[in-house]
Amino acid sequence: MSSQDIPEENLPVAQADGADLEKHGENPFADPGLPPHEHRIQDIDERAAKRSERTVAFLFTLSMLATIGFIASYVAFPVDKSIYVWPIGHISALNFALGMTLGIALFCIGAGAVHWARTLMSDEEIADERHEISAPPEVKAKVLADFKQGAKESAMGRRKLIRNTMFGALTLVPLSGVVLLRDLGPLPEDKLRHTLWAKGKLLVNQNTNEPLRPADVAVGSLTFAKPEGLEEHDHDFQTQIAKAALMIVRLEPDDIKDKQELEWSHEGIVAYSKICTHVGCPISLYEQQTHHVLCPCHQSTFDLTDGARVIFGPAGHALPQLRIGVNEEGYLQALGDFEEPVGPAFWERG
Amino acid sequence: MSTTTSSTDNKRKAPAGERVADWADGRLGIYSLAKANMRKIFPDHWSFMLGEICLYSFIIIILTGVYLTLFFHPSMNEVEYHGSYVPLQGQLMSEAFNSTMHISFDVRGGLLIRQIHHWAALIFVAAMLVHMMRVFFTGAFRKPREVNWLFGFLLLVLGMFTGFTGYSLPDDLLSGTGVRFMQGAVLSVPIVGTYLSMFLFGGEFPGGDFVARFYSVHILLLPGIMLGLVVAHLILVFYHKHTQFAGPGKTNKNVVGMPLLPVYMAKAGGFFFLVFGVIAAISALASINPIWALGPYRPDQVSTGAQPDWYMGFSEGLIRVMPGWEINAWGHTLVLGVFIPLIIFPLVLVTIAVWPFIESWVTGDKREHHILDRPRNAPTRTAFGVAWLTWYFILLIGGGNDLWATHFHLSINSITWFVRIAFFVGPVIAFIITKRICLGLQRRDKDKVLHGRESGIIKRLPHGEFIEVHEPLSQEALHTLTAHEQHKPLELGPTVDENGVERKVKGTQKLKAKLSQGMYGEESQIPKPTADEYKEITSGHGHH
């Protein structure tokens, strides 16, 4: 790894043509040095220079006008007015006017400055020397000596007890900061295993907010349901619906291939978790002919006639099914919670 | 005393500007600083302004971001919308979404600033990637600039995460879906995944905390680190002085160009306004992240065509094309289908970041390099860079597989399979092709140096043969085309020394020699023309 591993002659510097070519006389590839400066039209023609000056001044003036335009638009356009701009379509007049005037005001300052630099400032190339980044050996020797002196005076090396206890203290002290992070959140416990669903909870239609009857679920339609008692205004609605969201589909009982699916269904109505088992997007696309559902985020596809097993995409396991039935009044109800965790898999899932 | 003598000697009062500068110099030492930097030389090349775009878009993001904080409420308390956008009136949403709606519809110019902020962020990350590729392909990362390469790389990574935490703040349907995706990925981490998720979200997803937490990460923690890195990056650019391409008068020991004052002050300062102006105009014309069309986040709702911002697209590709492997044993689940993409995600980025260190180990080159390589003259490096870019873009295709499918009427299954195969094969093919192209270009350069430029003039010789007249190159061109260095491949030498005793060769040495042969062997570079070859041909017997 050190440089002595490499034979010196392998480094390009040793093969540079320069050295041996000195012997042969001049090198056809030698560096001819900086080319002579070529004058621009502005350097030799004062009228061209004047033209450039006027261009720059025009751009700066345009910028001033645009800023005035910006202020005027801010005052003039109501915030809700929309205008038609070809080919974009209808857009907010205020946003368009403010953005364009601000854009012109800024762009013209830039264009003016660049034009000024390119046409009127000196364009003669200058060569500056570089200096090696590494310090010269004397400096290095001085620094190392200083460091040794300092280290010696601190007696770090000699008084090992001080050194070791100091390292110990410095290692431990950040732990307080780590401990403080503990209350960022609760422990997982079995939170991911339970949802609001329980025996006897009615299936409430998300659209109508009414409990569902079997007759409400038509063949070929996809119905979204939530557990009764969960309302949008509840403070933990988002967290609860993130686990409890349900999709309901009616199949022909004969089409159901999976035995358990058939047992847990009611008159061909099956209820599955709407939360994808991949990384938790809500599944929302339903193919009526094949009874496949598809997650629009990562295209995991599940076959609802076969225990919602994965038939395509990155999901790792089938959607959990909710066991349903009807109560005495004829409403669809859950016969328990999901028997496995809904949503993405995790270490403790098992 | 000395001041009184000098002022009486001069018998004049220094102009006001000079007096202010004197005041500052007495306290800050600005004259010494200006002596080194005021007329600092910067070489001119279009690719050197890519880094400027990064810097300027970063400044624009900070300026507009501060404005947005004046109106944004980083809270997930549910409120009913009563703003001026009619379709959402009466709907429940978080205060974060509500205040973003307020910025977009009720604060005059608020929408513009929001759009400038978002557009500038997209441009910022894109410019960083392109700038990094410029540095990569020209070998500008070589000593003494390796540390600055790493600073830049860190800025790219932090920029991606600042962007992600930023676009998650409005708590709209699209960004919430992205956060859910991140949470699902965190859950896949073996052993600690559920704990990480609970701590990150203050409980179960989505809870009521993440917007406020992302907010402090987005506006303080990450940009604070980035600002420090940007300053360090720029100080190092100044300290190392800029690299330059080979050319007449340009050596490894000088820097040729124009001075900071006035030319680069005007050009670079002006360029800030150009970048800002263009972004403002884009934001006037092109809507970005129209949260009003998406609606507030609900964990049980989603829209189709959900896409992250472009720089997260490659991670999206990884997660989409990975087969859904899960191992269930001993009551635990190893979610490989999500965890493997989560691991490959940083590996993709690290792969390009470590190349400079691999290259310097293989060459054993400890010298400073200030002259840039033309990509063709470092075929293996160039091929590696193109292979990496190919890898990256294949994953981007995977991330947008649904859009590719709908826009080009392709089957999503075949796109997914294409990406799965191309993930492994694509970079290899790109490597081979790029290397061939580089070698071809090297041959052409060699030909040009030895035989001159094709002039397009056809000459008929007395005996009827037609030839094309080749014009010899100028000495400037000859020098430029032959100025690059060529490494010799490392030879391990005989494994037995002159006494017949077997010499031990370490495994790392063997690996180094193998890599060196691959990078600089006969297959990997065309020997550049020598002066002797040139003389023999030009002094030759008048052919061409």
Report which of A72, A108, A107 is spatially closest to residue A93, judged by C-alpha positions.
A72
Inside any domain, residue A139: no
* A344 in the same domain as A196: yes
Contact B68, B114 (CB under 8 A): yes
Judged by CB atoms closer than 8 Å, whether chains meet at B177 and A297 is answered as yes
Identify the domain boundary among A98, A119, A140. Answer: A119
Looking up residue A283, the CATH number of its domain turns out to be 2.102.10.10
For chain B, domain boundaries: 2-33, 38-302, 438-485+505-538
What pLDDT was estimated at residue B306?
Answer: 82
Contact A302, A285 (CB under 8 A): no
| CA separation for the pair B398, B418 (Å, rounded) | 9
Tokens found for residue B49: 């302004």
**Could you tell me the sign of the dihedral formed by the alpha carbons of B436, B437, B440, B445, in that order?**
negative
* A339 in the same domain as A235: yes
Angstrom distances, CA of residue B135 to CA of A46, B47, B272? 41, 9, 21
Identify the domain boundary among A119, A151, A170. Answer: A119
What is the span of the domain harbouring residue A51?
A: 41-119
Contact A267, A282 (CB under 8 A): no
The per-residue pLDDT for range B205-227, each reduced to its tens digit, is 999 999 999 999 999 999 999 99
| CA separation for the pair A107, A118 (Å, rounded) | 16
Q: Does the beta carbon of B189 lie under 8 angstroms from any beta carbon of chain A?
A: yes
User: What value does the mean pLDDT take over residues B344-363?
Assistant: 94
Judged by CB atoms closer than 8 Å, whether chains meet at A107 and B277 is answered as yes
Inside any domain, residue A338: yes
Looking at the structure of chain A, the number of domains it has is: 2
- Which DSSP symbol is given to B86? G
Cis peptide before B427 (omega within 30 of 0): no
Percentage, residues of chain B above pLDDT 90 = 74
* A208 in the same domain as A67: no
Exposure string (b/e) for B263-283, b if CB count within 10 Å is 16 or more?
Answer: bbebbbbbbbbbbbbbbbbbb
Query: Has domain B38-302 been given CATH number 1.20.810.10?
Result: yes
Residues 6+ apart with CB under 8 A from A332: A202, A203, A211, A212, A213, A214, A217, A248, A266, A269, A271, A324, A325, A326
Angstrom distances, CA of residue B107 to CA of A45, A97, B131, B170, B215? 52, 15, 36, 16, 21
The per-residue pLDDT for range B21-53, each reduced to its tens digit, is 999 999 999 999 899 889 999 999 999 999 999
Inside any domain, residue A127: no
User: What value does the mean pLDDT take over residues A235-257?
Assistant: 90
Residue type, B244: Q
Q: Which of A325-334, B211-220, B266-275, B494-503 has the lowest mean pLDDT?
A: B494-503
Q: Which residues of A touch B302 (CB under 8 A)?
A: 281-282, 284, 296-297
- Which DSSP symbol is given to B219? I
Strands of B212-315 (E only): list them.
Answer: 244-245, 254-259
pLDDT at B490 over 90: no
pLDDT at B125 over 60: yes
Report which of A238, A212, A221 is spatially closest to residue A324, judged by C-alpha positions.
A212
* A301 in the same domain as A213: yes
Report which of B428, B439, B434 is spatially closest to residue B523, judged by C-alpha positions.
B439
* A202 in the same domain as A291: yes
| CA separation for the pair B456, B467 (Å, rounded) | 10
Judged by CB atoms closer than 8 Å, whether chains meet at A317 and B326 is answered as yes
**Total Cβ atoms within 10 A of residue B490:** 23
Secondary structure of chain B: what % helix, strand, coil (to 5)? Answer: 65, 10, 30
Tell me the shortest Cα–Cα distance from B264 to chain A, in angstroms.
Answer: 8
Q: Does the beta carbon of A314 lie under 8 angstroms from any beta carbon of chain B?
A: yes
pLDDT at B412 over 90: no
Cis peptide before A28 (omega within 30 of 0): no
* A197 in the same domain as A83: no
A298 closest CB neighbour out of B203, B274, B320: B320
Q: Which residues of A touch B479 (CB under 8 A)?
A: 29-32
User: What value does the mean pLDDT take over residues B333-360?
Assistant: 94
Identify the domain boundary among A119, A142, A174. Answer: A119
The per-residue pLDDT for range B229-243, each reduced to its tens digit, is 999 999 999 999 999
Q: Which residues of B touch A113 (CB under 8 A)?
A: 266-267, 269-270, 273
B406 — pLDDT class (breaks 50, 70, 90): confident
Beta bridge partners of B258: B42
Inside any domain, residue A301: yes
Q: Does the beta carbon of B272 lie under 8 angstroms from any beta carbon of chain A?
A: yes
What pLDDT was estimated at residue B11?
Answer: 56
Average pLDDT, chain B: 91
Judged by CB atoms closer than 8 Å, whether chains meet at A130 and B478 is answered as no
Judged by CB atoms closer than 8 Å, whether chains meet at B325 and A316 is answered as yes
pLDDT at A17 over 60: no
pLDDT at A9 over 90: no
What pLDDT was estimated at residue A12?
Answer: 52
What pLDDT was estimated at residue B435?
Answer: 95
**Total Cβ atoms within 10 A of residue A200:** 11
Tell me the shortest Cα–Cα distance from A131 to chain B, in angstroms.
Answer: 7
Contact B141, B356 (CB under 8 A): yes
pLDDT at B433 over 90: yes
What pLDDT was estimated at residue A23?
Answer: 43
User: ipTM value of the model?
Assistant: 0.89
Q: Does the beta carbon of B158 lie under 8 angstroms from any beta carbon of chain A?
A: no
